[in-house]
A and B are shown apart, each in its own frame.
Chain A
């Protein structure tokens, strides 16, 4: 007896499938965030507990990720440092997004001098090395974590404004905007209540990319000594303090914060792109 086996064509997987890698990245990010929030409970040592008998030790049972040049526990420092490292980019992007969305939408919607002014400012900003601009702002406002965040927010605002402008311009030509106009909905209301929510998926995808960028910029500034100051164990600052260890041949004090920065940036990008795709798929 012959049997005819029919193999159905594999169903086309929609892009909204979350995927194993995205799940791994999500779990990793949750662990990092929970670790940062519960650092006082989870950290085995105080982040500034000095132990000269145990400097530059490799990972062992007492110190899971090893210790630095003062014998401080790297795991505890990384956990406490995650607070500054993660909160910084979130805060600065929040500031820059509020300002950038408002300016970009206004420029696209009103055109005219608002648009011209935005174009000039972004031209200058793009022609100017970003880090130099930020250092300039810090020179004026003084150094420290808060001013670094404000300075970077200022640097990111025109970037977000420019992107918002292009999204809003593309959205404005869609006939549904004309339909709202004909219904008598006020222009401000159309922009704020209908156009901005419609560009949200693309905006989220872009902000995720910027988050990685912002995290690295903040770490770089701390590394250079402009951002978070000791006794903070912000990851960029940890890398900087670990330099002496590398010269002596011990890589753990630099590897732990460096790897964390890299992994968080990658994980945020993977998860963010998936979320943005999902939001887009739901709107299509």
Chain B
């Protein structure tokens, strides 16, 4: 333990100060809001159940041929998660932010030691420890295996945490810059896509001869710290003492190297500018240099319509929350019908899923502006202004969603080889897109809610959750009901065997959808114009 500060007073050690600081921050964070406490407690409950299940699963796996593969790969996966986590969830831990420590007279070595111990406090590290313990339990046999396991379990858990901190410290420049914060906002998307990939991989694994196909991966990961520590337990249990020792030493060496790397980054960070300074100083002069509206603007109509469309379309690429919403809608709208079609369980009507997902992008238009909405509110004084504003937003959205809906429907028809049903399905999809766009315009005006920009996980400000869900669910139900006449007509034509008339659903659906958009805009415009201050208040919360 390091004794710093004055010799007169018995100062507490730096490590215990940091651990207590961490606990206080945790406690105060929970005291701040009941919702946070509830979330934290449910995380603990969920985590405990999860950990118990994992340990049980590992224990049950003892003795099975694939136990070593699973134990090593799971540990490797956990380490990978720790390594990438700080890139997506930055500054979750205030005690570890070097910018808060620069003013204090601290020496690097005791500081890093204290920080490392403090980072072990929390749900994540404890869960990791349990997980690694389970992994070790599943492969440890005999006295040698047990002895190595006693060393390996804490070693690999600490290595995971050190890895995470070292990566975070090395990337502070990225994480404190605007680009890093944008990256963090996209994390939900990365996690969703990653889960799809894992899901897909697991399905492939099930088909391709089971867990034996993991052997080569195990051979490699078993030498990579911290999974190498679990590999050491496995090797020791199998009698390969030299291999076990080598793997254990490798992990210990990796831990030392990580801590050294972390310490060097910390020292550097305390005297160098962070990303925010660099971002402000550098001139990002790579943007479209043309006057005013730019290249995109020249394609669009003039006046308010063009300006609003231009802004909406630019925001799809530039604003992380908008981008995430669009990419999610576009991806899921494509994945659901096409995956179902590939698996042979699909129907061409699944293509309507795409128009439903994309139509939801019209919901809460003003919430997407945030408190920047005042600029819009300042220029709307009549119903006609509000109509022009909403119509331009709908046009910007339809400029992408309309062709995309047609594309998804056509691709689904192609995979199913069901071209004869393309017109009716497309007609339904267009009607649904119109219904969602129309109801979206109305709910944007009547039920606006704020989308906090500071967190990637909050899409609704506290107290507005019910409003958000209510407007989306209500809008979806009404959107579906509005399409009922067309669905009825489709069913009727099928049942009454008038297949030659089914193509009519395409022009009728397109026209009906267009009318629904117009009706929605007409309904929404006066409500927007009359409620500007209320909308501004609602979208500026949080």
Asked if A and B are interacting partners, one says no
* B interface residues with partner A (beta carbon < 8 Å): none
* Chain A residues within CB distance 8 Å of chain B: none
